[in-house]
Amino acid sequence: MKIQYQVEKNICDVDGCKEIAYGKCMRCGTDICLTHQPIVGKNYRHSATLRGGEDGYFCNACISKLISDPNEPLREIHEAYLGLDRLIKKINEINKEYDVLIKHAEESIQKLWKKTKNIREMY
C-alpha cells in the first residue's frame, strides 16, 4: 500500500547546504547536517564510553560567547562538556602510552621465552 504524507524535516542552515540536519546548536538553534557539524561547531560527549541524547552540540560562534561571557545561561554545562572532553583526550593519551609500554613488555617476554628455551627444557 502506498500513501502520501507530509514530513517536516530540518535543513542545514549553512549557506548553500540543503542536507537534512541531524543536530542543532544548543544555544542558538542553528540546524546543522552531519557533514557540517565538525566544521562549524563541536559535538560534545555526555559520557566517556557512550554517545546519546545528552551529548551536546554548539556552533563555533556560540562557543566563543559561552567562553567569553560569564553570564551565559549555558556556560556551566558547556564547561562540564569541555571538562569531560579534556578527560577523554587525556585517557586516550595515557592509553597510547600504555599500549607502547605493553608492546615493549610483550616483546621482551617473547625474546626471553626463546632465549630461555634450553633452561626451560631442563625441567
In Å, how far are 11, 15, 22, 58, 103 from 18, measured between CA atoms? 6, 9, 12, 20, 48
Which residues, 6 or more positions from 104, have their beta carbon under 8 angstroms from its beta carbon? none
Beta carbon nearer to Zn ion, 54 or 93: 54
CB of 46 to Zn ion, least distance (A): 18
In Å, how far are 36, 50, 63 from 22, measured between CA atoms? 10, 18, 19
Q: Is 20 helix (H, G, I), strand (E, B) or coil?
A: strand
Beta carbon nearer to Zn ion, 28 or 87: 28
Residues in contact with Zn ion by CB under 5 A are 12, 14, 17, 19, 25, 27-28, 33, 36, 59, 62
Beta carbon nearer to Zn ion, 28 or 94: 28
**Residue 67 carries which side chain, given as an amino acid letter?**
I
CB of 57 to Zn ion, least distance (A): 9
CB of 76 to Zn ion, least distance (A): 17
CB of 35 to Zn ion, least distance (A): 5
Beta carbon nearer to Zn ion, 18 or 114: 18
- DSSP code of 88? H
